[in-house]
A = this chain, B = another copy of it.
Amino acid sequence: MSSRPGPLDHFYTVILAGGRGTRFWPQSRARRPKQFLNVLGQESLLQQTLARLRPIAPPQRTWILTNQSLRKQVLRQLPDVPPRQVIAEPVQRNTAPAIALAAHLLQQQDPDAVMGVFPSDHVIGKPATFHRILRRGAKAALGGHLVVLGIRPKWPETGYGYIEFPAGTSARSATPQPVVRFREKPRRAAARRYLDAGNFYWNSGMFLWQARTILREIERFLPATADALSQLRPLNSRQFSASLRRHYAACDNISIDYGVLERADKMAGLPCPDFGWNDVGSWEAVYQLLPKDKRRNVLRSPVQLLSADGNYVDSDKLVALVGVQDLIVVDTPDALLIARRQDSQKVADLVKEFEVGGLTGLL
């Protein structure tokens, strides 16, 4: 019951929910990307993200960045978030402008705003640990740092960027560390070196900082974006949407990592203890996250099995499997996917082929 100011007093969560997500085809589509799917449990990944962040910041202090075609779905799935805080980017411009826009609007509301930036489509298995990490990160953010959460690698992943910390860095301390360097998605051999070295962490895409700090960096490194934002009318004015449509396209089309973080000098990385993070990057990840039957099957449909092991099955109708192993089977009203589990990353390639082939009805 202390009235001493805490690190979360001016804390806002910003959830990035504009992603397309092709790796969950045929359930994910351009108009129904991964964050809206109930691939795990009864709620969508977006709803789970909001619920997880509630103890840190209530929906009244939650902002969602999304795009025009997805905004209605966000409002439907997250009725507790004030609709004016669900912002639709008029055009796709990567993460730097989206985060800059959120920072700009928060700064107008609360000059002392501290913001946490979160993807909308990850899962976190240990929320209590996560909350402790965020409190620690928020403190560092209040000290003027740009804080990025680092995740201790469990395998030599080539699909993520890495944060290089000083040699000897340990997640035990869980205190912010200087970032030696950001490393782009490595090749296999480099990923193996990073894993062995111990001071390389996965870049989680989760960030904490004061709105004013990130805005200063954006002014410095992305002046076109800063200039576009300066043209916006206030959020509560009638002209806000029109001004956003007019100026947002002039923003730099660049990620926050490339556009700002790799060049900023106020970076602090937080080498996190394990908080059960998973970016649910493929059907294989969904399979791994869900409970299995005795024959290692994950069955989300009525099924009849005959010598079938290690399969993931999701359909509205009965699926009979005879003698098949380690398959992903996802059945929807207009498309059916059957993939080897080990090939589930390739589903994104499939969707690219639909694009190339002009099969836009399937996107």
The interface of chain A, by Cβ under 8 A from chain B, is 25-26, 304, 306-307, 315, 317-324, 327, 329, 331, 333-340, 342-344, 346-347, 349-350, 353-354, 359, 362
Chain B residues in 8 Å Cβ range of A323: 339-340, 342-343, 346
| A349-B306, A354-B304 given; A334·B317 CB < 8 A | yes
A307 to B337, Cβ gap below 8 A?
Answer: no
Chain B residues in 8 Å Cβ range of A336: 315, 317-320, 329, 331, 336
Chain B residues in 8 Å Cβ range of A350: 304, 306, 320, 322
Looking at chain A's contact residues, the main secondary structure is mixed
Closest to A321 in B: B338
Chain B residues in 8 Å Cβ range of A353: 304, 306
Among A26, A306, A322, which residue has the most Cβ atoms of chain B within 10 A?
A: A322
Cα A329 to Cα B337 with chains together (Å): 11
Chain B residues in 8 Å Cβ range of A329: 336, 338
Chain B residues in 8 Å Cβ range of A26: 320
A343 to B304, Cβ gap below 8 A?
Answer: no
Chain B residues in 8 Å Cβ range of A346: 306-307, 322-323
Chain B residues in 8 Å Cβ range of A319: 335-338
Cα A231 to Cα B337 with chains together (Å): 58
Chain B residues in 8 Å Cβ range of A317: 333-336
Cα A324 to Cα B346 with chains together (Å): 12
Cα A252 to Cα B315 with chains together (Å): 45
Chain B residues in 8 Å Cβ range of A327: 324, 338
Chain B residues in 8 Å Cβ range of A333: 317
A306 CB to nearest B CB, Å: 6
A90 CB to nearest B CB, Å: 32
Given known contacts A306-B349, A306-B350, what 15 new A-B pairs fall within 8 Å (CB)? A26-B320, A304-B354, A304-B359, A306-B346, A306-B353, A317-B335, A318-B336, A318-B362, A319-B336, A320-B335, A320-B350, A322-B338, A323-B340, A323-B343, A329-B338
